[in-house]
C-alpha cells in the first residue's frame, strides 16, 4: 500500500483481531488505495476510524473480534460506540466521518459477499453545523497579495507574494501551490497551470500576468539552485517550504493589515471563488477551477454571495 499499511492502521499489530478479520481489513484498505484511489489522508483517517471501532468492539465483546462478530453488531451497539466516542469529546464532524467510514466498510463487505450487516445504516449520522466559507473583501485580499509584490531584493518577500498570488489569483489550495515543481513554474508564456488536487483529481487553472511576474521575480532572487524536478518554493534554509510558514505569514498579516481571524491561506481560495461569483462567473466554471468533485461543495459560495447582497440591501434600501 502507499503511506498506510495494515500494521499502521492496527498500531503495529497491537490490536488483536481474528485472522479472518485481519485479512478482510487489509483487503478493504487495498481496495480504497488502489481501486477507489482515495487520498492518503483519507485512507489514514478511514483506517483510524475502523481501528477505533474494532478496539471498542473488542472491549465490549471481551475477545478479539472476528467476521462472525461483525455480522451480529446491531444498531444499538453502533449507537453505544458513538456514545462512547462522544464521551471522549469527539466533535460531530469527526463522528460523522467515523460513521461514514464504517458505512463504507460494511457496504464493501456486503458487495464482496463476505458478510451482511445493515445495522450501521440504521444509525442516523450526527448533524454537522452548517458552515459557509469566510472570504476576504476584494480590498483586503488585494492588500494581502500586494504586501510583497514590490519586493526588489528580499527573496523571502518575493516568494511569499508569489505563493499568495497563486492562492488568490488561481484558487489553489496551499498544498497544491507548495507542491509545484520548478519545471512547472507558471512564468511568462505559461498562462495555464496543471494542478493535481485531492484524490489525484487533475485540473487546469489560469494564471494571471501579475502572478507570472511574481513567480519570475522570486526565481530570479532565490539564492538556491532550483532543480527542475525539485520544489518551486523553498524555505529560508533551502528545504521544501512548509505550509506552516505560510500560515504564520497570514497570522502576522492579520495584525498588520487589520484582517479578521478567519484570514488564513485557505481564505484566499475562498475569496477567489466568491469574487468570481460576485462578478458573474458560472457556478460550474468555478467548480472546475476549484477542482470540486461535487457541485454541492461549490454551492456554498452562493450563500456567501447571498449574505453580501442582503447586507448591501439592508444598508442601502431606504425601507430596510
Catalytic one of 134, 203, 266, 308: 266
Of the residues 97, 173, 217, 270, which is catalytic? 173
Which secondary structure element, helix H or strand E, spans residue 250, and what is its range? helix 243-257
Beta strands in 154-231 (DSSP E): 192-196, 202-206
List 51, 97, 217, 292, catalytic entry: 292
CA distance 104 to 140: 42
Cβ(98)–Cβ(90) under 8 Å? yes
**140 CB contacts (<8 Å, ≥6 apart)?**
257, 259, 263
218 noted as active-site residue: no
Distance of CA 311 to the CA centre of its chain: 30
Per the annotation, the verdict on 317 as an active-site residue is: no
Cβ partners under 8 Å of residue 219, min gap 6: 182, 185, 187, 226
Q: What are phi and psi of 181, to 5 degrees?
A: -95, 160
Is the CB of residue 51 less than 8 Å from the CB of residue 94?
Answer: no
| Residue 123 to residue 114: CA distance in whole angstroms | 21
Residues 208, 155: contact at Cβ < 8 Å?
Answer: no
Q: Is 41 a catalytic residue?
A: no
Q: Which of 85, 217, 269, 270 is catalytic?
A: 269
Helix (H) or strand (E) holding 288: helix 283-290
Contact 233, 222 (CB under 8 A): no
- Annotation says 269 is catalytic: yes
Annotation says 198 is catalytic: yes
Determine the longest span between alpha carbons in the chain, in angstroms. Answer: 73
Task: Specify the pairing of strand 192-196 against strand 202-206.
Answer: antiparallel
Give the C-alpha separation, 65 to 290, whole Å: 43
Catalytic residue among 46, 168, 218, 301: 301
Q: What is the DSSP letter of 200?
A: G
Catalytically annotated residue among 198, 203, 254, 308: 198
Active-site residues, by number, are 173, 198, 266, 269, 292, 301
Amino acid at each position: 500500500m502507499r503511506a498506510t499499511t495494515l500494521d499502521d492502521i492496527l498500531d503495529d499489530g497491537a490490536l488483536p483481531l481474528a485472522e479472518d478479520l485481519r485479512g478482510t481489513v487489509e483487503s478493504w484498505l487495498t481496495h480504497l488505495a488502489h481501486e477507489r484511489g482515495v487520498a492518503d489522508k483519507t485512507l489514514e483517517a478511514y483506517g483510524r476510524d475502523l481501528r477505533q471501532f474494532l478496539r471498542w468492539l473488542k472491549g465490549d465483546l471481551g475477545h478479539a473480534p472476528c467476521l462472525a462478530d461483525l455480522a451480529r453488531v446491531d444498531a444499538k451497539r453502533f449507537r453505544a460506540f458513538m456514545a462512547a466516542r462522544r464521551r471522549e469529546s469527539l466533535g460531530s464532524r469527526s463522528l460523522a466521518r467515523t460513521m461514514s467510514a464504517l458505512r463504507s466498510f460494511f457496504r464493501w463487505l456486503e458487495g464482496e459477499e463476505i458478510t451482511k450487516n445493515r445495522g450501521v445504516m440504521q444509525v442516523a449520522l450526527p448533524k454537522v453545523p452548517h458552515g459557509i466559507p469566510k472570504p476576504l473583501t476584494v480590498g483586503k485580499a488585494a492588500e494581502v497579495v500586494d504586501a510583497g509584490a514590490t519586493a526588489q531584493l528580499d527573496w523571502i518577500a518575493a516568494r511569499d507574494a508569489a505563493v499568495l498570488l497563486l492562492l488568490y489569483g488561481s484558487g489553489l489550495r496551499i498544498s497544491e501551490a507548495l507542491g509545484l515543481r520548478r519545471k512547472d513554474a507558471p512564468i511568462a508564456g505559461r498562462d495555464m497551470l496543471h494542478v493535481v488536487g485531492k484524490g489525484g483529481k487533475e485540473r487546469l487553472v489560469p494564471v494571471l500576468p501579475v502572478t507570472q511576474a511574481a513567480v519570475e521575480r522570486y526565481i530570479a532572487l532565490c539564492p538556491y539552485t532550483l532543480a527542475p524536478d525539485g520544489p518551486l518554493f523553498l524555505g529560508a534554509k533551502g528545504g521544501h517550504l512548509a505550509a506552516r510558514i505560510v500560515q504564520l505569514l497570514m497570522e502576522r498579516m492579520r495584525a498588520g493589515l487589520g484582517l479578521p481571524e478567519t484570514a488564513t491561506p485557505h481564505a484566499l481560495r475562498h475569496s477567489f471563488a466568491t469574487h468570481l461569483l460576485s462578478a458573474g462567473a458560472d457556478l460550474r466554471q468555478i467548480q472546475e477551477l476549484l477542482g470540486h468533485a461535487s457541485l454541492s461543495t461549490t454551492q456554498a459560495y452562493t450563500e456567501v454571495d447571498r449574505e453580501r447582497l442582503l447586507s448591501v440591501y439592508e444598508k442601502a434600501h431606504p425601507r430596510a
